[in-house]
Amino acid sequence: MACPLEQAMALMVTTFHKYSAKEGDKYKLSKAELKELLNKELPVFGSKQTSEASLQKLMSNLDCNSDNEVDFQEYVTFLACMAMMCNEFFQDLPDKMPRRK
């Protein structure tokens, strides 16, 4: 059986491809695919209240090569930034730190 970190990496890859294959280039996320991924996989971050302007700004920030899509490298960079933000949050609030079961 794979270790938890290996499982997490596999989940990141399979989640990307679950949404990237829906329309257009199967190796990139369109804005609609990114929105669906955020709403279903990161519901707190991609809540229904996220405005179209906020989504467009996120898309622009992630789309480093300006092709109007998010490729795997751009997606992983986003997840890494999210992980760093979570780490900082939990450092500031150690009583809320997730614990291993």
Q: What is the 3-state secondary structure (H, E, C) of 50-89?
A: CCHHHHHHHHHHHCCCCCCCEEHHHHHHHHHHHHHHHHHH
- pLDDT over 80 at 92, yes or no: no
If you search the block for the tokens 């490298």, which residue do you land on?
A: 73
The continuous run of DSSP H or E covering 4 comes out as: helix 4-20
- Tokens (6 digits) for 15: 């989640």
- pLDDT over 90 at 67, yes or no: yes
CATH of domain 4-95: 1.10.238.10
If you search the block for the tokens 């150690």, which residue do you land on?
A: 94
The pLDDT value recorded for residue 49 is 59
The structure's pTM equals 0.80
